[in-house]
Amino acid sequence: MYVHFVVTSPFTYTRSCRFLLARLHMDMLAIKRTVKAVRAALDVLPADVNKTYEDAMDRIKKQDEEYRRLAELVLIWTIYARRHLSIEELQHAVSTFPGMLDLHPDSLVRAEILTSVCAGLVVADKNSRAVRLVRK
């Protein structure tokens, strides 16, 4: 099967890049709703990490406006934070806006949505609950 080839074939990348590529491919395949769609996606999987990142960004851009904007906020906070943010810190960061004086708990975005809107580019560590880019 092609998935086995993608994971085991030799790349010019480091071992961590190969696993990153496989992870990004699996995230892309996971959103397919039918076997036919999975097979079609397998035929065009990029073998290049940069192209795979571009594809993930394209998937983010194709989401509806609310999810696309949320993904942008999650990526901005994750990239520019001086340290890894906890899931709770990220929830607060993306739920606040200029001029807000109070944050109601019902206004917080659910943790699983924070990572799912980012097309596999952001992950939350289960142990530390820290949010980080998938590449590190």
> 69 and 129 in one domain?
yes
> 40 and 75 in one domain?
no
> 122 and 72 in one domain?
yes
Which of 78, 24, 31, 22 is CA-nearest to residue 54? 24
Residue 42 contacts residue 2 (beta carbons within 8 Å) = yes
Instruction: Judge whether 59 lies within some domain.
Output: no
Instruction: Judge whether 80 lies within some domain.
Output: yes
pTM exceeds cut of 0.75: no
Gap between the Cα atoms of 53 and 51, Å rounded: 5
Report residue 9 as tokens.
Answer: 């074939």
What range does the domain containing 22 cover?
2-54
For residue 23, the model assigns a pLDDT of 67
> 84 and 125 in one domain?
yes
> 110 and 80 in one domain?
yes
For residue 82, the model assigns a pLDDT of 93
Instruction: Judge whether 60 lies within some domain.
Output: no
Per-residue pLDDT of the chain (136 residues; tens, 9 = 90+): 233 333 344 444 455 555 566 666 666 677 677 888 777 777 766 666 677 788 888 889 999 999 999 999 999 999 999 999 999 999 999 998 888 888 888 889 998 999 899 988 898 888 999 999 886 4
> 86 and 108 in one domain?
yes
> 73 and 27 in one domain?
no
> 120 and 85 in one domain?
yes
DSSP strand E in 1-136: where?
85-86, 122-124, 130-133
Q: Which of 54, 82, 97 is the last residue of a domain?
A: 54
For residue 39, the model assigns a pLDDT of 78
> 128 and 85 in one domain?
yes
Instruction: Judge whether 46 lies within some domain.
Output: yes
Domain count within the chain? 2
* Residue 123, beta-bridge partner list: 132
> 15 and 74 in one domain?
no
Gap between the Cα atoms of 133 and 83, Å rounded: 12
